Amino acid sequence: MVTSQHEASHRIFQERPELLTPVFRILGVPLPERPSVEVLSPDVTEIRPLERRIDTVLRISAPNGSAFLLAIEAQGRRDPEKAASWGYYLSYLYSKYNIPALLLVVCQDKATSVWAAGPFRIGLDGWTALSVHPMVIGPDNVPMITDPDEIAQNLAFAAFAALMHGRSPDCTAILDALATALRSADDEFIDYYWQLLDVGLGETPARATWRDVMGVTIYFPGQGTLAEEKYLEGKAEGEAEGKVQSLLLFLDARGIPVPDSALGRIKGCTDLDTLDRWLVRAVAVTDADELFAEAPGQGD
């Protein structure tokens, strides 16, 4: 599963290749009908000391046997070094696979989208030796989808649109509609898109909004769904982390040292009842290890 905001922006193309059709339609680039999509190695290292890696590389093949490569880069800011890197990526892929290669740059803010469109020219004044023309997808050309029925027809594109508009003040409408559409989806899809947006929205207000709307819309108390399990699991983890921090702050305020062994045990505890018990004991203990003393008939 995705582990960072950057990764979410390009990994969705690997895991939900149906997203390519609406994205290419937006860009005005023809895409073969019923293409097969293969994820290739993103490693484009040639000289051992200099490691280069593309975020995602896809091989897109048409039923008639023709194919092209799509290098996908998630870009969060302007980077003057990308002109050389992107030119290298395309040249390397074309040389290695001997089929056409395109570059798609995914941006989550308009300023970066404008810059990423290039073109990026390499050469001298008066002569361009190499020119890179990325295709760019971002908040300025991805539509805001707020109709749950439309969202249900292509969850991958709707989730991608939510990622692209995560910094927009109107993002709440998209997230509400997406959460509504997910109510009728299978648990597998609910879990995937829940986590994808939770990671992909990064440290933005939209992330808190997403957690709120998913907690209200998808959480069906007592039904035992995967969504419910994830919701309760996340809620319990948050409460446990808060209690751990409170306990450590209280011990520090009392001047009671916490050795590594005790610290590891405290931070590793996720049982709320146990943490409550330790918080009560922390009022009177003179040593951190006394927190773990078992009362008769009671264990931690």
Containing domain of residue 191, as a range? 148-218
Q: H-helix or E-strand containing 129?
A: strand 127-132
Tell me what pLDDT residue 158 has: 92
Does one domain contain both 20 and 55? Answer: yes
Is 33 within the bounds of a domain?
yes
How far apart are alpha carbons 259 and 263 in whole angstroms?
6
Angle between helices 187-200 and 155-164 (to 10 degrees): 20
Is 117 within the bounds of a domain?
yes
Does one domain contain both 286 and 186? Answer: no
Domain boundary among 137, 166, 191: 137
Does one domain contain both 175 and 278? Answer: no
Does one domain contain both 79 and 189? Answer: no
How many structural domains comprise the chain?
3
Is 121 within the bounds of a domain?
yes
Does one domain contain both 126 and 165? Answer: no
Does one domain contain both 127 and 162? Answer: no
Does one domain contain both 113 and 24? Answer: yes
How far apart are alpha carbons 169 and 135 in whole angstroms?
26
Is 124 within the bounds of a domain?
yes
Does one domain contain both 133 and 152? Answer: no
Is 214 within the bounds of a domain?
yes
Is 234 within the bounds of a domain?
no
Is 299 within the bounds of a domain?
no
In the chain, the percentage of residues whose pLDDT exceeds 70 is 86
What average pLDDT does range 198-215 have in this prediction? Answer: 85
CATH of the domain at 20: 3.40.1350
Domain boundary among 101, 118, 137: 137
Is the pLDDT at 228 greater than 80, yes or no?
A: no
Q: Which of 44-48, 80-84, 106-110, 234-238 has the highest mean pLDDT?
A: 106-110
Domain boundary among 137, 172, 195: 137
Could you identify the residue written with the tokens 């995602």? 56
Where residue 3 falls among pLDDT bands split at 50, 70, 90? low
Residue in 202, 41, 70 with CA at minimum distance from that of residue 135: 70
Does one domain contain both 252 and 186? Answer: no
How far apart are alpha carbons 292 and 271 in whole angstroms?
13
Is the pLDDT at 16 greater than 80, yes or no?
A: yes
Does one domain contain both 76 and 186? Answer: no
Where residue 81 falls among pLDDT bands split at 50, 70, 90? confident
Does one domain contain both 213 and 269? Answer: no
Is 85 within the bounds of a domain?
yes
Cα angle 9-15-21, degrees, rounded to a multiple of 5: 80
Does one domain contain both 108 and 176? Answer: no
